[in-house]
Amino acid sequence: MQIHRSVSAIAAAVLLVGAGAAVRAGSLSSDLQIEAGQTFELGGGQDGGFAVTGRNTGSVAVLVLRKAEGAAAVAKGVIAPGDAVDARFGPGEMALLRNTSSTQMARLKLAITGDTASLGMTYSDNR
């Protein structure tokens, strides 16, 4: 399972980064998929803030959390299927997009703008 998560994180990074030109322009696009029981982690440690906008195109809700370095994650809201998201994150903060389902894949169409040049991306098990 660890190999699958690593491959998924790499695939997400490729989708978000694209050809690299989007990173320099400060904008990324993604058709993001989050496996059941998983959280997509975006950012953390970057110098500037960033925004995540888009829509939940799947059939399960996604919980959006903000996590500052050394602090506990704080819920910002839930994106129900079909709903839009417009969440802003400050310098150094991490966006956590948590699939609320233990059985179904979550799907989102997202745009990330702002300080995107050094955003890290990975997946983790829901906690």
pLDDT of the chain along its 127 residues, tens only? Answer: 444 454 455 445 444 444 333 333 489 999 999 999 999 999 999 999 999 999 999 999 999 999 999 999 999 999 999 999 999 999 999 999 999 999 999 999 999 999 998 899 999 999 8
Residue type, 36: A
Torsion of CA 90, 105, 37, 92, to 10 degrees: -10
Using the structure block, give the residue that is written with the tokens 């399960």.
60
Domains, the chain, in order of start with CATH, read 2-125 (2.60.120)
